[in-house]
């Protein structure tokens, strides 16, 4: 039996009318922004070999991915992440290009989410990757571009949280656990499950690293966070804190201090980041709207070591916010419905072409009778019907004939 012929898979949905229109508008706004900043568009396949996401420095769990095999039995997945395929692309087809590479993308991502989480398994993502550039200038360019992406799409009140991957990684070296234990701690921090995190830390021998990680929920806010962190932690975190403070102060010079927060408990689900990391949130939306950061070791996994940084923004969230603000209206009815009487069908299509060249929104009637054509026009709010024969006459629907 065809039990699932009329439904979409969990985590997916159909897009209708103004939703499609809003997606195009957001895409156009982001493309304009990225191109103006010198970025060039690339697109990677929806299907990738699973090896792309299984690296020594970062391995994306198979349970996150939709899996299938090709005709040779090789394991393939639907793209669960955009950065790693673009790293593959940069290390292969673009390896001889002049650096830095400025790349941008707009494509779907497919990721298995736990049931009842209310998250989509398929979502649209757009972003940039700046490859072959290191240092504060590159980090600032990417963060400011991410903020400008939210601004360009009219995002409501938003907050961007800044952290540094080196902060947690430095503390993790002082934890009395193996690599799996560190990953467990990282996952609990990423989920903001501090109750379970404290329970786990209570089983460990007391140390400065354990005390600092317990304090992570309090290491959130403005510049005062740096002083708190310095008091709690040793010199091993001095370098990432100093660098992050410089980035934060630079961003504040742009008048963004009300939009920027420091979150030293910020870690990423994708554990390939090495430096500054950031996330963006919009008021009224619990999930992350944008995320990104520096990932200097990822391209070495593809045989082409290069520093890199970038971000991705959830296009679906920006679309939803745009629709809720009423900025995209439902499709308008055609201004004219053109009906060709028997033997004048092609003349009717030529008449419609002429109207369209004048900027008139038109439909061609596919009905065999004028009566059915008028019924359709009234049902769809089309105010004018042009009847084409030897001569053309116009009917205003509901008002009788007009010659």
Question: Is residue 288 classed as helix, strand or coil in its secondary structure?
Answer: coil
**What pLDDT does residue 248 have?**
95
Looking at residues 185-208, what average pLDDT do you find? 84
| Residue 396 in this model has a pLDDT that exceeds 80 | yes
In what helix (H) or strand (E) does residue 87 lie, and over which residues does it extend?
A: helix 83-92
**What pLDDT does residue 46 have?**
97
185: nearest Cα among 203, 200, 165, 204: 200
- Characterize the bridge pairing of strands 384-388 and 392-396: antiparallel
| Residue 269 in this model has a pLDDT that exceeds 70 | no
Q: Which residue has the tokens 């033997």?
A: 343
pLDDT-derived band at 403 (thresholds 50, 70, 90) equals very low
Joined together, the tokens standing for residue 113 give 């989410």
| Residue 402 in this model has a pLDDT that exceeds 50 | no
Taking the CB of residue 35, how many other CB atoms lie within 10 A of it?
13
Phi, psi of 40, rounded to the nearest 5 degrees:
-115, 140
Distance of CA 340 to the CA centre of its chain: 46
Q: For residue 205, give the DSSP letter.
A: P
Please report, rounded to a whole number, the percentage of residues in the chain having pLDDT higher than 70: 96
| Residue 401 in this model has a pLDDT that exceeds 70 | no
Residues 6 or more apart in contact with residue 195 via CB below 8 angstroms: none
363: nearest Cα among 389, 396, 339: 339
What domains are defined for the chain? 18-324 (3.30.930.10), 336-402 (3.40.50.800)
User: Is 217 buried (19+), middle (13-18) or exposed (0-12) by CB count in 10 A?
Assistant: middle
Looking at residues 47-72, what average pLDDT do you find? 89
pLDDT digits (tens, 9 = 90+) for 79-115: 999 999 999 999 999 999 999 999 999 999 999 987 6
Distance CA 224, CA 229 (A): 9
pLDDT digits (tens, 9 = 90+) for 362-393: 999 999 999 999 999 999 999 999 999 999 99
Task: Quote the crossing angle between the two packed helices 165-172 and 179-190, to the nearest 10°.
Answer: 140
109: nearest Cα among 332, 327, 374, 313: 313
| Residue 394 in this model has a pLDDT that exceeds 90 | yes
Distance CA 302, CA 282 (A): 35
| Residue 35 in this model has a pLDDT that exceeds 70 | yes
Distance CA 84, CA 103 (A): 13
| Contact between 305 and 316 (Cβ < 8 Å) | no
| Residue 270 in this model has a pLDDT that exceeds 70 | no
**What pLDDT does residue 268 have?**
72
**What pLDDT does residue 115 have?**
64
pLDDT digits (tens, 9 = 90+) for 155-194: 878 999 999 999 888 888 888 888 888 888 888 887 778 8
| Residue 141 in this model has a pLDDT that exceeds 90 | yes
């Amino acid at each position: 039996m065809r039990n699932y012929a009329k439904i979409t898979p969990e985590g997916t949905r159909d897009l209708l009318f103004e939703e499609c229109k809003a997606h195009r508008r957001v895409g156009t706004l982001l493309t304009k922004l990225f191109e103006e900043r010198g970025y060039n568009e690339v697109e990677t396949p929806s299907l990738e070999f699973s090896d792309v996401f299984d690296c020594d420095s970062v391995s994306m769990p198979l349970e996150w991915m939709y899996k299938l095999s090709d005709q040779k039995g090789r394991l393939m997945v639907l793209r669960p992440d955009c950065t790693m395929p673009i790293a593959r692309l940069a290390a292969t087809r673009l390896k001889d290009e002049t650096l830095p590479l400025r790349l941008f993308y707009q494509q779907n991502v497919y990721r298995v989410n736990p049931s009842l989480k209310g998250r989509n398994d398929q979502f649209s993502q757009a972003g940039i990757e700046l490859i072959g550039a290191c240092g504060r200038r590159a980090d600032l360019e990417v963060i400011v571009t991410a903020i400008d992406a939210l601004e360009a799409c009219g995002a409501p009140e938003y907050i961007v949280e800044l952290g540094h991957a080196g902060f947690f990684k430095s503390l993790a070296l002082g934890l009395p656990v193996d690599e799996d234990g560190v990953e467990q701690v990282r996952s609990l921090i990423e989920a903001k499950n501090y109750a379970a995190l404290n329970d786990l830390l209570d089983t460990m021998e007391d140390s400065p690293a354990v005390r600092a990680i317990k304090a992570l929920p309090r290491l959130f806010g403005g510049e005062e966070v740096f002083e708190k962190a310095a008091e709690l932690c040793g010199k091993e975190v001095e370098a990432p804190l100093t660098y992050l403070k410089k980035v934060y102060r630079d961003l504040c010079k742009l008048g963004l201090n009300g939009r920027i927060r420091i979150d030293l408990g910020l870690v990423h689900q994708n554990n390939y980041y090495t430096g500054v990391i950031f996330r963006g949130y919009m008021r009224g939306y619990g999930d992350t709207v944008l995320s990104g950061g520096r990932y200097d070791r990822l391209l070495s996994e593809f045989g082409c070591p290069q520093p890199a940084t970038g971000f991705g923004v959830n296009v679906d969230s920006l679309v939803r916010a745009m629709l809720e603000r009423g900025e995209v209206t439902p499709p308008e009815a055609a201004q004219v419905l053109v009906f060709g009487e028997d033997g004048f069908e092609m003349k009717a299509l030529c008449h419609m072409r002429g109207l369209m060249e004048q900027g008139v929104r038109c439909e061609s009637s596919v009905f065999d009778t004028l009566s059915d054509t008028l019924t359709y026009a009234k049902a769809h709010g089309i105010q004018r019907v042009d009847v084409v024969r030897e001569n053309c006459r116009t009917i205003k629907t509901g008002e009788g004939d007009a010659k």
